[in-house]
A = this chain, B = another copy of it.
Amino acid sequence: MKFNTKVRYGLRCMIELAMADPTKGMLQKEISRKQQISRKYLDQIIFALKSTGLIENSAGRGSGYKIGKQAEKSTVYDIYRSFESELAVVDGLDEDETKNHCYAAREYWIQLNEHIKDHMKSVSLNNLKERQIQFSQQTSGLDYVI
């Protein structure tokens, strides 16, 4: 019952970019250094985030990434969905009910699943950015890389 590293690193990337100067792009190299994620692994993560439009760049050398146009309105769930299919905390929830062996258990998992999904949808990248800014001000930005 864990989120994998792609989702976790992806979230950190998005916050990093949300905090960055939106007028100039940020290179993979720079994100990699700041977030301590290997260049090649980050490459995959950025590829996924770009595919869903959460981040943008122009191709080729030296362009750099910036947050996508609609990305500030995006939520943690959108970021999650860049890497995974729809959340399903157990398999077979959408199957025919009669195939299940316990109605109450099935209903419980469905409820929990929605509960988690709702939480992930309720927190936007903007919310996270604000929290990060608050923290940076409190600590003079010394303790964290961002």
Contacts and interface: CB of A to CB of B under 8 A. Distances in A.
Interface string A88-125: 11110000011011111101110110011001100100
B2 A104 contact: no
Interface residues of A, number: 47
A11 interface: yes
Contact of A12 (B105, B129, B136): B105
B101 A144 contact: yes
Nearest to A131: B104
A35 B102 contact: yes
Given A11-B108, A97-B143, A116-B115, A102 B132 contact: yes
A101 B129 CA distance: 14
Interface string A127-146: 01101100110000001111
A109 to B, nearest CB: 8
A105 B144 contact: no
A8 interface: yes
A66 to B, nearest CB: 18
